[in-house]
Homo-oligomer: A and B are copies of this chain.
Amino acid sequence: MEFKDKVVAAYQKIQDTICEGLEQADGKGRFEEELWSRDGGGGGRTRILQHGHVIEKGGVNFSAVHGKLPDAIKKAFKIESDDFFATGVSIVMHPGNPFVPIIHMNIRYFEMDDQTRWFGGGIDLTPHYVIDTDARFFHHLLKQTCDEFDSAFYPKFKTHADDYFFIKHREETRGVGGIFYDKLKPENTGMDFDRLLEFSEAVGNTFLPAYTELIDRNRDTDFSPQEQEWQYLRRSRYAEFNLVYDAGTKFGLETNGRIESILMSLPPMAKWVYNYQPIADSPEAYTLSKLKKGIEWA
């Protein structure tokens, strides 16, 4: 079995497990699957759940594509070779209750040739209302997963997430962060590719226990129309990040990826209110005060 086939099998299994677990946690919503293929080569399984008890809209997407790199991308990444293979699982969940956080996960493997191959990915959390105990629980779990492989991983990947998930024009982080890593390979980790695949799988397998716990903690919290409004505002910031900064979204739009799969990350509904200012000492103001880089949650 070729290495990339092993990655594909592992990722498909993770997609299956997560979809099953999320349906169970939601209690009502069911994923609808769409199989698609790409003109240049490969394809994917897009799975979308809408109008659940907990999840208003979310996607758990698997794809494995291959082909020739567009010239613009070759230039940008200074790559000589033409053929690429890329596989990954991408998740974004937009819950209906403002006290359940938005979550995002991505695990991916990219290969050009024996010299140019690596793993990337991460999980990060975007609460509409920051709840300290939840953020600490989440980061603690990620740290645990990382520490099993290398104690240097969590601090490095946590900082990387802070830097990456930053909405520059708002001067705020997208949420309370998480971990984000890219281009992991033997040279910079001291691990072989089989071990790196194990790490990638471990990250994938951290998603379900992390998110189902956060769902269970908050799904029954009552909320007011004003709190829902705040949720819609936070979602508009999420849309801003994804459309203006997110590298995966940009890559997808520029390489003629499957638009509906790429943009499944966008919220079911969002609001832009001119110059909204939260009341001092409100939970909304507290949340904004926590959308900063460098907070030690673990």
Shortest Cβ distance from A265 into B: residue = B272
Within 8 A of B (CB), among A13-62: 34, 48, 50, 57, 59
Asked if A75 lies at the interface with its beta carbon under 8 angstroms from chain B, I say: no
Residue in B59, B259, B268, B275 whose beta carbon sits within 8 Å of that of A271 in the complex:
B268
* A170 CB contacts on chain B under 8 angstroms: 259
Contact B239–A243 (Cβ < 8 Å): yes
Asked whether A263 lies within 8 Å of B253 as measured between CB atoms, the reply is no
Q: Write the nearest CB–CB distance from A230 to chain B, whole angstroms.
A: 14
Of residues 264 to 298 in A, which have CB atoms within 8 Å of B's CB atoms? 264, 266-275
- Please report the total number of A residues contacting B with Cβ < 8 Å: 30
Say whether A232 faces chain B, with CB atoms less than 8 Å apart.
yes
Count the copies: 2
- Most chain B C-beta atoms within 10 Å of own C-beta, residue among A168, A244, A273, A275: A275
Q: How far is the CA of A202 from the CA of B264 in the complex (A)?
A: 43
Interface string of A249-271 (1 = CB under 8 A from B): 00001001001100110111111
- Which among A48, A244, A268, A270 has the greatest number of chain B C-beta atoms within 10 A? A270
Of all chain B residues, the one with the shortest Cβ separation from A262 is: B169
Closest to A241 in B: B243
Q: Contacts A232-B269, A239-B243, A266-B236: A274 and B260 contacting too (C-beta < 8 A)?
A: yes
Bound: A267/B270 CA distance, A:
9
CA distance A32 to B220 in the complex (A): 39
B260 lies within 8 A of A253 (CB): no
- A163 on interface, CB distance cutoff 8 Å: no
A240 within 8 A of B: yes
Contacts A168-B253, A169-B253 given; does A269 touch B268 at CB 8 Å = no
Q: How far, in angstroms, from A239 to B270 measured CA to CA in the complex? A: 10
* Residue interface mask A110-146, B partner, CB < 8 A = 1: 0000000000000000000000000000000000000
Name which residue of chain B comes closest to A267, CB basis: B272
A59 to B272, CA, bound (A): 13
Residues in B with CB closer than 8 Å to A269 are: 232, 269-272
11 contacts between A and B (CB under 8 A): A34-B275, A48-B275, A168-B253, A170-B259, A239-B239, A239-B243, A260-B275, A263-B272, A268-B272, A269-B271, A269-B272
Rounded to whole angstroms, the CA-CA distance of A57 and B274 in the bound complex is 8
